[in-house]
């Protein structure tokens, strides 16, 4: 017979992502419906250490499902890697009666959750990041909204790029992963997709392709560049200098991390938040919720962190076939 959970804490950690509010709402309402108290923890592990903790009722999560960002705020808390801070955090959870904790964030946040689980606080992670860079899951909260926002923005840049017969380098987020760039590159019909996982950093090849395309009468040249490759402004200057084609860099930046979540991010965020509570009720700890092969599942956190995920090779090759054909 598993120990009954009395109070569930919930926090968001790392970069925010549209759909996190849907997950928070689901945590709060699923738990309250089971007679479990809920405590919101503001600003991730930083707020936990500062005891920025408040009781959450159903009305605290009214009117948030359609809002981007996270009502709990988020933060990065580098000191949370220290065992003494983790001891402190576990003691704070106990002081506030928190015997179950839902951590919405990425791999780094799950490492913190695993540390608390080792200290007797039952924890479940929910994958929230626009980058899609959590290996155990095919879906992360926020990716769908982020790519749709970026795709719309890139379409706009493409219009003006065509009018001016320019080359445009558009940088999308993803410091450690090129998933956003790959999806946008395909969705926007870009001529080039530069992602750190595949790019050989040979600009001469790109320049040759630009010149070849211009000879065929092509009016614009769209390069989607991942943040992990970076250098967009300098790259634009170099390409313009060598090709003579006017080249502009646009860095979309944080605009793609905000905004109204898509239906998918609201629905999957809700399912994942509720599943995290169901897991805690069942007595589980040190788990992460995932979406794998069209099913909502869960894994042991260490097992999940040991998994690896690469860029989809077929999609990457397809992007080149479609743009260079």
Active-site positions read 131
Dihedral sign of CA atoms 204, 206, 209, 214 in order? negative
The reply to whether 15 sits near ligand ADP by the rule CB under 6 A is: yes
Tokens 């009117």 -> residue: 63
Q: Which is nearer to ligand F6P, 9 or 174 (CB)?
A: 174
The reply to whether 319 sits near ligand F6P by the rule CB under 6 A is: no
Per-residue binding string, ligand ADP, 38-67, x by CB under 6 A, is -------x----------------------
The reply to whether 15 sits near ligand F6P by the rule CB under 6 A is: yes
In the list 175, 208, 219, 237, the residue contacting ligand F6P (rule: CB under 6 A) is: 175
CB-based contact 39:283 (threshold 8 Å): no
Q: Whole-angstrom Cα distance, residue 122 to residue 140? A: 22
DSSP character for 191? S
Range 185-219 burial, b when 16+ CB lie within 10 A, else e? bbbbebbbbbbbbbbeeeeeebbebbeebbeeeee
In the list 12, 30, 122, 129, the residue contacting ligand F6P (rule: CB under 6 A) is: 129
**Residue 183 binds which entry of ligand ADP, ligand F6P, none, with Cβ cut-offs from 5 to 8 Å by kind?**
none
| Residues contacting ligand F6P: total by CB under 6 A | 9
The answer for residues whose C-beta is within 8 angstroms of residue 172's C-beta and 6 or more apart is: 150, 180, 181, 184, 224, 225, 226, 227, 252, 256
Q: Cα–Cα–Cα angle for 281, 286, 287, nearest 5°?
A: 70
Pick the piece of the chain touching ligand F6P (CB under 6 A) from 57-65, 128-136, 181-189, 241-249.
128-136
The reply to whether 174 sits near ligand F6P by the rule CB under 6 A is: yes
In the list 26, 28, 80, 236, the residue contacting ligand ADP (rule: CB under 6 A) is: 80
> Which positions lie near ligand F6P, rule CB under 6 A?
15, 129-131, 173-175, 227, 257
């Amino acid at each position: 017979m598993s120990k009954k959970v009395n109070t569930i804490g919930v926090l968001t950690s790392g970069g925010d992502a549209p759909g996190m509010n849907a997950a928070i709402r689901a945590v709060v309402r699923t738990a309250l419906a089971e007679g479990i108290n809920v405590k919101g923890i503001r600003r991730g592990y930083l707020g936990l250490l500062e005891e920025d903790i408040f009781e959450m009722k159903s009305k605290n999560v009214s009117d948030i499902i359609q809002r981007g960002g996270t009502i709990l705020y988020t933060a990065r808390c580098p000191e949370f890697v220290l065992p003494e801070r983790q001891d402190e955090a576990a003691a704070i959870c106990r002081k506030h009666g928190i015997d179950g904790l839902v951590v919405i964030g990425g791999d780094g946040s799950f490492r913190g959750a695993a540390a608390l689980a080792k200290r007797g606080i039952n924890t479940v992670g929910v994958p929230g990041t626009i980058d899609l860079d959590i290996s155990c899951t095919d879906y992360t909260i926020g990716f769908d909204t982020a790519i749709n926002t970026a795709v719309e923005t890139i379409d706009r840049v493409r219009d003006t790029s065509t009018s001016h017969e320019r080359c445009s380098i558009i940088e999308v987020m993803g410091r450690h992963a090129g998933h956003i760039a790959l999806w946008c590159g395909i969705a926007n019909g870009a001529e080039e997709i530069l992602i750190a996982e595949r790019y050989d950093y040979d600009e001469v090849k790109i320049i040759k392709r630009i010149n070849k395309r211009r000879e065929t009468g092509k009016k614009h040249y769209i390069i989607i560049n991942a943040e992990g490759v970076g250098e967009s402004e300098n790259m634009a200057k170099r390409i313009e200098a060598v090709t003579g084609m006017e080249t502009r860099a646009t860095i979309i930046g944080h605009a793609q991390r905000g905004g109204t979540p898509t239906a998918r991010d609201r629905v999957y965020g809700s399912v994942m938040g509720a599943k995290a509570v169901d897991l805690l009720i069942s007595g589980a700890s040190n788990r992460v919720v995932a979406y794998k092969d069209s099913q909502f599942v869960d894994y042991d956190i260490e097992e999940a962190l040991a998994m690896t995920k690469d860029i989809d090779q077929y999609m990457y090759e397809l992007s080149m076939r479609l743009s260079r054909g």
